[in-house]
Structure 1
Amino acid sequence: MASSEVDQKFLGKLAKMVEQNNPLLSSILFKILGLSLNLAEQLVTAKKQRRQRTEQTPEFLKLVLHIIWLSREGLKLLDQYVIPSVGHEVELKVLAYKLRASFYHIFVLFHNSPRVSDLAISTPDVLAGVATSLSAVPRLDKGKGVARDDDLESLNSSIQPTHPMEGGPVGPPPGFGLESPASFLIPATDYLPVAHQAFKEAISLSEELLWGSHSLRLSVKTEYAAFLFECAHDPEASRSVAKKTIAEVYEAQEGMDDDMFADACELVTVLGRMMKRGLGSGNTPSNRQTPTPAVPPPGMENPI
């Protein structure tokens, strides 16, 4: 998804560019832009919540389910409308395949089986927490006001359930069970191979069609480096991608306008920090289990 300002800028620019010749494609691109703006904000919120709290809460589950739903809808729009219509539009083609890889990246982070990230849902406990929170919400007694806590206590002490399911926790819809509360949105499976392949396709197109310092090409490589580190758990490969990409930027001879130059500088800054992720003070691989994440510049909070 377009979680960085670079992707969002290109989405808006390309949607406007094709508006006259292909109004349907333009409207779909604007929809993906709106979806991505919403999704980017929720991704930042989800990551902040995981840094602040070790346990997952019902609120976090609801947030993750919304993230997965938005990603699923964005992927559908890409596969059904955008990718078949890109034609010879170079930047649009690269962006479409990059966004496709980004949505699969989100599936890996939040709903992969087996779990590869602490952002993924811990299904049984969290779902039970949602059930408890829903069952604890005060109910309106038709025409008689809101029940008070002391009223509920007296009812609980004097009335026994007359049905095996009465008074029990709120469970998932029939047929879904406790194993995966997001399975009604997308299947619980291993998305790592398909995400990896999607990134390879996007990178191949970006290297074939765009010059080394093009900010969209840098966006593809930046997210791929993040994917390798946090999902594939291959810090050496992540650092290698970041280092190679920076070298390509300095070797590029093509000119850029001021806006693209500023975006390229910010992405190079992020890549420079990615080159050091997982390294100790002596630039050797660290033995720490959870490396301290790099803090990107403003506007680049999401490498995905």
Structure 2
Amino acid sequence: MASSEVDQKFLGRLARDVEPNNSHLSQMLFKILGLSINLSGQLVKARKQRRLDSSKSTHSWELYFHIIWLSREGLVMLEQYVLPMVGDHVELKVLAHKLRASFYHIFVLFHNNPQVSPMGISTPEVNSAPTMGRSPEPHKLDKGKGVDRGGIDMTSGYANMSLEGGPVGPPPGFDLQDSEQLASFLLPSVDYLPTAHGYFKEAIAIADSLLWGSHSLRLSLKTEYAAFLYECVHDHEASRRVAKKTIAEVYEATEGMDDDMFSDACELVTVLGKMMKRGLGTQKTSRSTGPSPAPQATSESVATAVPPAGMENPI
């Protein structure tokens, strides 16, 4: 995910590599790296809880808001300042597209409507509740200014906000009694699943065309995509196929690797090996089969694959 150890390594290295020729791009990559490290800790906490229970205390809400806020800010910086400047940087191009899919992956896990994962806090009235005192605006066709996100404005002043520390409480004028409006204030509650899936496919197409089969950045992308298929799309068979095919591509690759990339590749192959067996012997659930208790099935199987040390976040 946007918080994975492999992605963070490449963010730091690429930020240093581009600094002599593009200091602004380097600064943005370092900012996204700092955000990613912060986000990683929040996601580990959420994974340990398995389900954010808003009925017990305010801690779940604060964790939930922090994850959504960090992911939103990371996406703004990525789309405004990194993606337009990737140019001919091969690894940076793959990483930027992978990170965009990763941020949307987080939206699907924690803030999707309809809810597809037990990781988020259910806020069924968010979509119908007024947002900041205004009536919801109808969906508009894009006018050539970028991808239409169904009313999501990612180009407002978010990128100018300080990322240091993050929100320690509700915004002014809100309290936790207004939790539904708070969630809508941070990010519209819509179905992010199709957008996320499309960005994953785009990132994989780019990675397949530019990177060899055992490249750790390519493996990080395929690993997260397998997790996305399993936990969000609920297509368990497709997830296992992606994991199996990726492992085969690793063994077929003939390109050399340095020691660090080889170590990352070994750990990711271990995770993919567990994903090949994930969910076998349990009830198969697929989003394409129609209405089904997908979140319940996912809740039982979300802890099936236990990654090795250093890879706590396979998503």
Please indicate, yes or no, whether the TM-score normalized by the shorter chain is above 0.5: yes
Within 5 Å, give how 1:66-81 maps onto structure 2: 66-81=66-81
Cα deviations by residue, 1:35-93 (Å, 9 ceiling, x for unpaired) = 00000011000111236979664211110101000000000001000000000000000
Structure 2 unpaired stretches of 5+: 126-171, 286-295
Task: State the alpha-carbon separation in 2 of the partners of residues 173 and 261 from structure 1.
Answer: 49
Cα deviations by residue, 1:230-252 (Å, 9 ceiling, x for unpaired) = 11111111001000000000000
Within 5 Å, give how 1:146-165 maps onto structure 2: none
Task: State the alpha-carbon separation in 1 of the partners of residues 201 and 69 from structure 2.
Answer: 24
Structure 1 position 123, deviation (Å): 3.2
Cα deviations by residue, 1:152-173 (Å, 9 ceiling, x for unpaired) = xxxxxxxxxxxxxxxxxxx974
Task: State the alpha-carbon separation in 2 of the partners of residues 232 and 124 from structure 1.
Answer: 20
Instruction: Give the letter for the 2:85 counterpart.
Output: S
Task: State the alpha-carbon separation in 1 of the partners of residues 278 and 250 from structure 2.
Answer: 20
Within 5 Å, give how 1:22-101 maps onto structure 2: 22-50=22-50, 57-101=57-101
Residue of 279, 297, 303 corresponding to 2:308: 297
Change (3 A) 1:296 1:241: same
| Residues 1:257 and 2:274 aligned together | no
> Could you tell me whether the CA contact under 8 Å between 1:124 and 1:178 is conserved in 2?
no
Structure 1 unpaired stretches of 5+: 126-170
Change (3 A) 1:88 1:220: same
Structure 1 position 298, deviation (Å): 1.3
Aligned to 1:231: 232
Aligned to 1:161: none
For the residue of structure 2 that corresponds to 1:107, the secondary structure is: helix
Q: Percent identity?
A: 69
Cα deviations by residue, 1:21-46 (Å, 9 ceiling, x for unpaired) = 00000000000000000000110001
Change (3 A) 1:52 1:34: closer
Aligned to 2:187: 186
Task: State the alpha-carbon separation in 2 of the partners of residues 237 and 228 from structure 1.
Answer: 7
For the residue of structure 2 that corresponds to 1:181, the secondary structure is: helix
Question: Cα RMSD over matched residues?
Answer: 2.4
Report the count of equivalent residues: 255
Provide TM-score, normalisation by structure 1: 0.79
For the residue of structure 2 that corresponds to 1:32, the secondary structure is: helix
Structure 1 position 263, deviation (Å): 0.4
Asked which structure has the greater CA Rg, the reply is 1
Instruction: Give the letter for the 2:233 counterpart.
Output: A
Instruction: Give the letter for the 2:239 counterpart.
Output: S
Change (3 A) 1:78 1:54: closer
Provide TM-score, normalisation by structure 2: 0.76
For the residue of structure 2 that corresponds to 1:231, the secondary structure is: helix
> Could you tell me whether the CA contact under 8 Å between 1:180 and 1:188 is conserved in 2?
no
